[in-house]
Copies of this chain bind each other. A is one copy, B any other.
Amino acid sequence: MVIRNTKQRQIIQQVLTEAGRPLSIDEILRAAQRQKPSLGIATVYRNVKDLVEDGNAVAVDLPGEGPRYELAGKGHHHHFRCSSCAKVFETKACIGKLRGLVPRQFEITGHNLVLYGRCPDCLARAKKLIGSRKK
């Protein structure tokens, strides 16, 4: 089966490449539609699925939310989610010392860490609002 290099596929890959952070299906759709409005959501789902299956992208699953996707090959890292704007960012590295969390009889093979808080932009915005609110 020959894989075709369609316009839609190019756009979706480009969107993921340029984002620099994990994107939801909807974020991908909206960004891609700026280049090709007729692009449908099923195409996003199908292409993202293919990307993940081929190992070119990975799903970023945050608890309680639909998955987001980022390009593969970034090494081990985790994510930070801004509670204010809901954007998700990558963290630099990883904590160690997980072994002690669970009895010795458990075998640990992996882990998933998500930090929550506010990103610099939202913090700045909050400060500005406080400065200008009515007294």
Q: Which A residues have a C-beta under 8 Å from some C-beta of B? A: 59, 61-64, 67, 78, 80, 83, 89, 91-95, 97-98, 100-103, 105-120, 123
Expressed in whole angstroms, the Cα–Cα distance for A92 and B108 within the complex equals 14
Give the residue name and chain of the B residue nearest to A105 (CB).
B120
Query: Given A80-B106, A107-B123, A118-B106, is A63 in contact with B98 using a C-beta cutoff of 8 Å?
Result: no
B residues near A103, Cβ cutoff 8 Å: 120
Chain B proximity of A27: nearest CB distance (Å): 18
B residues near A109, Cβ cutoff 8 Å: 83, 116-118
Contact B106 A116 (CB under 8 A): no
Expressed in whole angstroms, the Cα–Cα distance for A59 and B95 within the complex equals 24
B residues near A123, Cβ cutoff 8 Å: 105-107
Chain B proximity of A105: nearest CB distance (Å): 4
Give the residue name and chain of the B residue nearest to A113 (CB).
B113
Contact A78 B101 (CB under 8 A): yes
B residues near A114, Cβ cutoff 8 Å: 63, 111-113
Chain B proximity of A11: nearest CB distance (Å): 26
The contact of A117 among B67, B100, B107, by CB within 8 Å, is B107
Expressed in whole angstroms, the Cα–Cα distance for A97 and B100 within the complex equals 15
